[in-house]
Amino acid sequence: MFKLALQLGCTVGELCDRLSFDEFIDWLAYDGIDPFGGFRQDIQTATLLYAKVGQGSLTDYLPIDPNPMSEEMRERYEYEQALKNSEKEARQLAQMLGRLEDKANKH
């Protein structure tokens, strides 16, 4: 609510008086697709720095962690990512072996 009020140049009280619930929900959806405000500016600045320097990852240039997690949450996330990558690599390997087997059977 505060970010929207700031963006529209009014107080939160004024915004509450003139904004319907349905329109507020629409603004939330819009912000999810195309965010505005400080975080968006941080992303734009980080993108420019990343393009200029060309090293690391985009998140290295953000002043805050865009996805703050506890150590436990981060370990779980990294485990799940590694598992997904392993499953993807296993599927790719199985497809490659299947193609090789098909070629061998044709000859």
Rounded average pLDDT over 38-66? 81
Q: Amino acid identity of 34?
A: D
Which is more confident, 107 or 16? 16
Q: pLDDT tens for residues 82-106?
A: 999 999 999 999 998 888 777 778 7
- Global pTM reads 0.39
H helices of the chain, in order, are 2-8, 12-18, 21-33, 38-53, 71-106
3-state secondary structure of 75: helix
The CA distance from 1 to 48, in Å, is 29
Q: Nearest-CA neighbor of 59 among 45, 70, 73?
A: 45
**Tokens of residue 57, six digits:** 């990852």
C-alpha distances in Å from residue 8, one per residue of 37, 42, 68: 11, 20, 28
**Tokens of residue 39, six digits:** 């975080």
Q: Amino acid identity of 69?
A: M
Contacts of 103 (CB under 8 A, 6+ apart): none
| Residue labelled with tokens 């629409």 | 26
Q: Amino acid identity of 10?
A: C
The pLDDT value given to residue 17: 93
Q: pLDDT tens for residues 24-51?
A: 999 888 888 877 766 677 888 888 988 9
